[in-house]
């Protein structure tokens, strides 16, 4: 039986690397797209093909995606919460997705798996429990990340009209090995005492291994044109940070009221306008990190993709153990 072929965008990112590791373990032939400026340290550990290009450069995609590739896993995305980068974010999350979809279809790709986010639901106000049946409000969100993820999904789903099976996956807050720039940063901020306070919001801590296994399951088990929430253990952000502090031996900061975080976000943006340096906290990030009372359900993924939820404590421990193993933290 011939190995199946996969083309992965966002392969140098956190979820992308974990997905490639799983694909290789499962015997797939993998080609990973990377920008010229990307760090390839981790990707070079795997027996895969590397293709230089960008999802914003259609010609590079034409060169990179091989004719008849079985599956395109579109993982690449811009996660910025700074309004100054909105145009760049749209070019990646919306226009870039359109490029990948159209080129994939033209190359005879049969299946397109699109990595979105639960952020595509945007500023949902009335519903406390959110499922795939809850109308998405990301398209009207003032937070561009939420808006662009929603619109990126719409671009991905257009692939069904081009003859591809398209499945959308919506992870929550993902943690685990290879996480350096997402929630993994909290380990360093706590170690260096650079996290003055904890935002008052909630999180659904989702293990990256659960997420990438769902990507593989979606190839055969996912239904075309459908989306699947991939969520984890629901917790207060303060409890998540406390677990990170417990595992790493750091001190737990206080929890700040939402209004303090929002004021700090506005002030940080003003300072950034003078310095040009990206602020640690923006009004968008302050709002997202202060959201409470929303529960995202993954029943559909459990039922149709065999999705399983790993406890938050395991997600934190696995992230910590990987950082220690790589020599990035000391135990």
How high is the pLDDT of residue 1? 66
Tokens of 294: 């929303």
pLDDT in tens, 202-224: 999 999 999 999 999 999 999 99
C-beta separation of 150 from 139 below 8 A: yes
What would the pLDDT profile of 276-316 be if each residue is shown by its tens digit? Answer: 888 888 889 888 888 888 899 999 999 999 999 999 999 99
Give the residues of the chain that fall short of pLDDT 50.
none
pLDDT score, position 328: 94
pLDDT value of position 262: 87
In this prediction the pTM is 0.95
Q: Who contacts 320 (Cβ-Cβ below 8 Å, separation ≥6)?
A: 187, 244, 247, 248, 329
Q: For the chain, what is the mean pLDDT? A: 94
**For the CA atoms of 294, 146, 288, 241, what is the dihedral angle to 10 degrees?**
80
Q: What is the C-alpha to C-alpha distance for residues 318 and 166, in angstroms, rounded to an integer? A: 31
DSSP state of 190: H
Nearest to 11 by CA among 64, 87, 85, 86: 64
| Burial (Cβ within 10 Å: 0-12, 13-18, ≥19) of residue 69 | buried
Neighbouring C-beta atoms of residue 126, cutoff 10 Å: 6
Q: What is the reported pLDDT for 119?
A: 95
**Residue pointed to by tokens 């990438």:** 212
Count of Cβ atoms closer than 10 Å to residue 154 Cβ: 16
**Strand residue runs (E) in 98-172:** 111-115, 129-130, 165-171
């Amino acid at each position: 039986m011939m190995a199946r072929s996969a083309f992965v965008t966002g392969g140098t990112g956190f979820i992308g690397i974990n997905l490639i590791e799983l694909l290789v373990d499962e015997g797939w032939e993998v080609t990973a797209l990377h920008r010229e400026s990307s760090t390839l340290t981790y990707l070079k550990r795997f027996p895969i093909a590397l293709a230089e290009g960008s999802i914003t450069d259609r010609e590079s995609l034409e060169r990179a995606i091989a004719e008849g590739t079985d599956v395109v896993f579109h993982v690449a995305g811009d996660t910025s919460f700074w309004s100054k980068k909105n145009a760049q974010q749209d070019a990646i999350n919306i226009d870039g997705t359109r490029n990948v979809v159209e080129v994939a279809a033209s190359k005879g790709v049969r299946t397109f798996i699109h990595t979105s986010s639960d952020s595509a639901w945007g500023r949902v106000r009335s519903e406390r429990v959110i499922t795939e049946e809850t109308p998405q409000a990301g398209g009207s969100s003032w937070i561009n990340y939420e808006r662009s993820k929603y619109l990126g999904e719409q671009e991905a789903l257009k692939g069904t009209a081009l003859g591809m099976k398209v499945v959308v996956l919506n992870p929550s807050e993902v943690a685990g090995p290879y996480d350096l720039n997402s929630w993994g940063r909290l380990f360093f901020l706590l170690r260096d005492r650079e996290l003055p306070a904890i935002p008052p919001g909630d999180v659904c801590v989702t293990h990256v291994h659960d997420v990438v296994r769902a990507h593989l399951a979606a190839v055969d088990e996912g239904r075309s044109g459908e989306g699947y929430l991939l969520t984890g253990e629901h917790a207060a952000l303060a409890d998540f940070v406390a677990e990170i502090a417990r595992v790493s031996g750091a001190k737990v900061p206080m929890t700040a009221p939402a209004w303090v975080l929002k004021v700090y976000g506005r002030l940080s943006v003003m300072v950034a306008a003078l310095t040009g340096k990206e602020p640690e906290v923006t009004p968008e990030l302050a709002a997202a990190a202060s959201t409470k009372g929303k529960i995202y359900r993954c029943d559909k993924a459990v039922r149709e993709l065999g999705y399983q939820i790993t406890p938050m404590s395991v997600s934190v421990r696995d992230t910590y153990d990987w950082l220690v193993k790589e020599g990035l933290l000391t135990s």
